Structure 1
């Protein structure tokens, strides 16, 4: 199965997060590259990134509720 990859800029725009967030997740091993585009940009699986974003938001919301 070929995974369609999307670059960090497009993912960041879609998710409403800074590009640095996508790169941080990748650097910490939370998401994994699936290849490079013709320009050499790293591509990520949008399904994997979306799952991680959902998990991160759920965790952040739970942490916020505990603090209040």
Structure 2
């Protein structure tokens, strides 16, 4: 993957559901467990909150060393 590809406005990210859970309470608990275990790049680390857009861009740039 190149910098040009990453900057392409038409780039589409795909996500995968690890487990399907209908009950909201159980689903949120499992989400938090996965976040704690896998530490996704764009999660804030507070519950299931995402980083603000500016910090997301910074996190991705640092990860890719652009």
TM-score, normalised relative to structure 1: 0.31
TM-score, normalised relative to structure 2: 0.32
Higher RCO, 1 vs 2 (CA within 8 Å, ≥6 residues apart) = 1
Structure of larger gyration radius:
2
